[in-house]
């Protein structure tokens, strides 16, 4: 998810998306542990997406 997309979401939508992304990341990690992923770059992409969402939530809490 791009930063511009993250900025447009509401707080509730961000929290929902954060939960979905964390679940997807844990599923990918488990799948990668069992057998290597075809595209291991997915792990990095999802992890960075989680960081973007969490950063935006923290930023909004401070305002």
Contact 59, 53 (CB under 8 A): no
Confidence band of 1 (pLDDT split at 50, 70, 90): confident
Q: What would the pLDDT profile of 2-20 be if each residue is shown by its tens digit?
A: 999 999 999 999 999 999 9
Cβ contacts of residue 32 below 8 Å, gap of 6+? 40, 43
Q: What are the sequence ranges of the domains in the chain?
A: 3-58
Q: What would the pLDDT profile of 24-51 be if each residue is shown by its tens digit?
A: 999 999 999 999 999 999 999 999 999 9
- pTM of the predicted protein model: 0.92
SS3 at position 63: coil
């Amino acid at each position: 998810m791009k930063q511009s997309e993250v900025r447009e979401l509401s707080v509730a939508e961000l929290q929902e998306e954060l939960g979905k992304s964390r679940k997807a990341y844990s599923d990918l990690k488990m799948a990668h542990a069992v057998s290597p992923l075809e595209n291991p770059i997915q792990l990095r992409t999802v992890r960075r997406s989680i960081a973007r969402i969490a950063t935006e939530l923290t930023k909004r809490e401070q305002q």
